[in-house]
Structure 1
Amino acid sequence: MNKHLTIRSENGSANCIVSASNLNDHVFEVTRDYVNISGFTVENATKRAGIYFHTVEHCNISYNNVTNNDGGIRLYYSSNNTLINNIASNNYHDGIYLKSSSNNTLINNTASNNYYDDICSSICGIYLYDSSNNNHLYRNNFINNTNHNAYDYDTITNQWNTSTVGNYYSDYTGSDNKSDGIGDTLHQIPGGSSIDYFPLMHPWGKSPLKGDLDDDSQITSKDAAIVLQIAVGNCPCNPQILAIADVSGDGRVSSLDALMILQMAT
C-alpha cells in the first residue's frame, strides 16, 4: 500500500516562509513517492535547490513561491509528477530543471528573472535535460530569464501545448493578426526540435488591455480602426476579441466602442 504525505501551509505562500537553515542543503528534499508540497515561500538555499525531488513518482508541487535559491525546483530521475501554479523566480540558475525526468505535467507555472552574475549557458526559466521525455507543459509563463526562457535538450517527445493553447515566452516575437491571444507563428524551443505550436501573446492569467486590439500595450486610433472593421463585419470576432473590443460593455462590437477607444487613445 502506498502511503501519501501532504505538507501544506494553512495560510498560503505569502504567509508561510520556509528558509534554508544551511546554505548547502535543499529546503525541501523528497526521495519518496506520493508526496505533496503546497503553499510555501521557499527561499535561501543559495547553494542548492528550493524544492528537490530525486527518483520519485506521483508527487505534486503546487502554489509555491520558490525564490533566491541556487535552483528553484529540480527533478532528478523523477517521473509522473505534477507541478501546478508555482512561481520560480530570482534563483541563481534555472527556475525549473528536469534531468532524466519523464511523463511529468507542468501547468500554470511562472519561471521569471532567474539569473547569474557570470555567463552560464544552462541558466533558463525551464531546462529539460538528459532524456527528459514525454513531459507535457502548457499555460506556463517564462519571462525575462538569462540565456533562455525555455530550453529542451535535443528531444521532440515533450509536448509544449495542448490542441489549443501553449505557453507564454517573453522573447516570442510573433504577431497575432487574429487577435485571439495565440501567436500566428509557432515558437521553436531552443536546444533541439521541440515546438510550441500555440504560443501565448500574454502571460497566462493576465487579462489583455481593454481596447488594445493590436496588442501593443497601448490604446491608439489604430485600435479604433480595427474595432470599426469588426463592427461592419470585415474582421472576425470570436469571444476573446469581443472581450477586448466591447469597451462599452453592451455585449457587442459597434461604432460606440470605436468612439470610446478614440477618446481613450494616447
Structure 2
Amino acid sequence: MGSGNRPIKYYNSPVDLSNEILSELILCNADNSTINNVTIKGSETLKNNGFLVLRTDNSTFTNINSSNNYYGIYMDYSSNNTLTSNNASSNNNNGIWLYSSSNNNTLTNNTASNNNYGICLWDSSNNTLYCNNFINNTNYNAYDNAYDTSTNQWNTNSKGNYYSDYTGSDNNSDGIGDTSYQISGGSSIDYFPLMHLWEKPPLKGDLDDDSQITSKDAAIVLEIAVGSRPCNSQILAIADVSGDGRVSSLDALMILQMASSIQKKL
C-alpha cells in the first residue's frame, strides 16, 4: 500500500484500467494500454511519481487526475501516446514531464496547475500540444528543452494552449492572442496562444467522457431512458443524439450504430 493506504499498481504488459483511486501507477513496457478515469494522490514529500510511464508506446491516457505528488505525470522513453483530459495539479515538481526520447506524443485538453513547473519537455521531440491549460505554476508554465532544437509543436494551424502568464492582447476578440508565446528554456513558440481557459466541447453521445463513442455509451443512454440512471440538462445535451429533446431507446440505438460504424473503420 502507498500513501493514505491507497494501492500502488504496476503493470509490465498491456492493461485496460479504469475507475481507480491509487497512490501511484507505474507502467513499464506496457505498450497498447488504456488508462481512463484514474485518480492518483500520493505524497509530494516522498517523491511519489504519481503516474509513471516507462518505455510504453501506443497507449491512451484519459481523465487521469494526478495531484499532490512529486511528479504528476512522468513519461520516460515513451512515444506515440495520446494524453487527453488529464489534470496534474499541486505537484511538488513537474505537473507533466516528457523525458528522454518521449517522442511523437499528442497532448490535448490537459491541465497543469499550481505545480513547480507546469510542463517540461526534455530531450523529447515531435510532440504535439494544443488546447491545454497551464495555470499558476511557480517557475514556468511551460518549459521545453529539446537540446535547443525546435521540434515540438505547441499549436495547430489555428489554436495553441492557454498560459496564465501570457500578457498579449486580442484586438479582434477571436480568442487567440495577437502575439506569440515563447516557450521558456528553448526556441519553441506557441504561435496561437489562447486568451481564455480551454474547455473541451462535449462530444455528442460520449456519456462516459472517454472521448470515444462505444457500446458503453449506448448502455448508459438506455439506463437513462428507462429511468434507472439520473439525467440533468448537461447529460441531456450529450445523450439526446436524435435531437428530439429527450433521452430514449432511439438515442441508444443511434449511438450503438455510431460505435459500430467507427469500429468497422478501425
TM-score (normalizing by structure 1):
0.66
Aligned to 1:29, which of 20, 26, 43?
26
- Aligned-residue CA RMSD in angstroms? 1.5
Which deviations, in whole Å up to 9, do the C-alpha atoms of 1:164-196 show, x marking residues without a partner?
Answer: 010000000000001000000011101111000
Instruction: Give 3-state SS (helix, strand or coil) of 2:193's partner.
Output: coil
- 4+ residue runs over 3 A deviation: none
1:147 aligns with one of 139, 157, 161? 139
**Which aligned pairs between 1:65-144 and structure 2 lie closer than 5 A?**
65-100=65-100, 101-115=102-116, 124-130=117-123, 132-144=124-136
Structure 2 alignment gaps of length 5 or more: 1-12, 202-266
Which residue is 1:24 aligned to?
A: none
Q: Equivalent pairs: percent with the same residue?
A: 56
Report deviation, 1:56.
Answer: 1.2
User: Residue 109 of structure 2 contacts residue 200 of structure 2 at CA under 8 Å; is this kept in 1?
Assistant: no
Output one character per residue of 1:73-107: Cα deviation in whole Å (capped at 9) or x when no partner. Answer: 00001110111000000011000001121100000
| Alpha-carbon distance in 1 for matches of 2:94, 2:103 | 18
Q: What is the distance in 2 between the residues matched to 1:64 and 1:88?
A: 8
Tell me the distance in 1 between the aligned counterparts of 2:43 and 2:81: 23
Letter in 1 for 2:107: L
Q: Distance in 2 between matches of 1:73 and 1:36?
A: 15
Closer, same or farther: CA 57–206 of 1 in aligned 2, 3 Å: closer
Amino acid at match of 1:28: L
Tell me the equivalent position of 1:119: none
Q: C-alpha distance in 2, partners of 1:76/1:197?
A: 27
SS in 1 for 2:26: strand
Q: What SS does the aligned partner of 1:74 have?
A: strand
**Change in CA separation of 1:57 and 1:7 when aligned onto 2, cut-off 3 Å:** same
Instruction: Provide the residue aligned with 1:176 in structure 2.
Output: 170
Distance apart, 1:206 and its partner CA: 8.3
Seen in structure 2, the aligned counterparts of structure 1 residues 206 and 86 have a Cα distance that, compared at 3 Å, is: closer
Q: Quote the Cα distance in structure 1 between the aligned partners of 2:73 and 2:149.
A: 21
Structure 2 CA distance, aligned partners of 1:33 and 1:202?
35
Q: TM-score scaled to structure 2, two decimals?
A: 0.66
Which amino acid counterpart does residue 37 of structure 2 have in structure 1? G
SS of the equivalent of 2:165 reads coil
